[in-house]
């Protein structure tokens, strides 16, 4: 069996790029560089709100974007490459039962101790390999994305009662730790279901594999680093 290993480095390999250098039309809403996420604070290793991916994954997203634009849609990413130190922070968060700061919005009906068991977080994340992306659809031209106002709202509340994300209605908000976030959850019907399927088809057509437990999560099938996990910071100066 080939050993998996973590590359401890402060600079990314040459195959990594900033997504906006490949396609500046793809919107970025990098939640882990802010306090608006299920942990409730900026995540370790996220020095800048920039999407970094392998060049191969970024080019595949560019092709998906080009497919969607004539139909009146575009892509918006929430997370891209994720350092292993961030994954370790998620594990510490799951083990700290006293920390329920963001429960009302992100996991109102799930015991955080079960986050690993239920497949919402992992001890090793495909994001750390650089070819996994969390992404949604926006209608074109996109509405302005407001800054988070600090209020918590249930992630599976009705669309207009959730935080005013400029993405289309997917039935839940991003990073909703709940079965309703499963791509094919039967309770998600009508337009939200069609939106999920539109995103899924667009990404699959360009070589991405969906993750059944999270409608937003896709990994490039032929990724350049299938067994290597990185820990360089999310920052432009990490790129060579």
The residues carrying an active-site annotation are 214
Question: Is the Cα torsion angle 136, 146, 180, 34 positive or negative in sign?
Answer: positive
Which helix or strand (DSSP H or E) is residue 228 part of?
Answer: strand 228-230
Beta bridge partners of 76: 27, 136
Q: Could you tell me the two tokens for 19?
A: 């997504």
Q: Cα–Cα–Cα angle for 15, 20, 22, nearest 5°?
A: 55
The rounded distance, in Å, linking the Cα atoms of 225 and 162 is: 36
Of the candidates 212, 72, 50, the one whose C-alpha atom is nearest the C-alpha of residue 137 is 72
């Amino acid at each position: 069996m080939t050993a998996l290993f973590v590359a401890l480095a402060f600079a990314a390999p040459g195959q990594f790029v900033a997504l906006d250098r490949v396609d500046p039309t793809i919107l970025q809403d990098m939640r882990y560089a802010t306090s608006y996420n299920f942990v409730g604070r900026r995540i370790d290793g996220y020095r800048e709100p920039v999407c970094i991916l392998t060049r191969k994954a970024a080019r595949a997203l560019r092709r998906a974007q080009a497919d969607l634009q004539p139909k009146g849609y575009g892509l918006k990413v929430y997370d891209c490459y994720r350092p292993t130190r961030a994954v370790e922070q998620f594990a510490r968060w799951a083990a700290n039962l006293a920390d329920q700061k963001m429960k009302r919005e992100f996991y109102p009906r799930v015991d955080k101790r079960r986050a690993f068991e239920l497949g919402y977080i992992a001890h090793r994340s495909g994001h750390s390999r650089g070819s996994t992306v969390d992404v949604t659809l926006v209608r074109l031209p996109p509405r302005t994305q407001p800054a988070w106002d600090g209020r918590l709202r249930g992630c599976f509340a009705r669309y207009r009662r959730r935080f005013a994300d400029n993405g289309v209605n997917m039935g839940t908000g991003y990073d909703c730790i709940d079965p309703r976030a499963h791509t094919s959850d039967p309770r998600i019907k009508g337009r939200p279901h069609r939106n999920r399927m539109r995103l899924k088809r667009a990404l699959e057509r360009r070589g991405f594999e969906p993750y059944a437990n999270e409608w937003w999560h896709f990994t490039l099938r032929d990724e350049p680093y299938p067994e290597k996990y990185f820990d360089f910071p999310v920052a432009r100066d990490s790129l060579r």
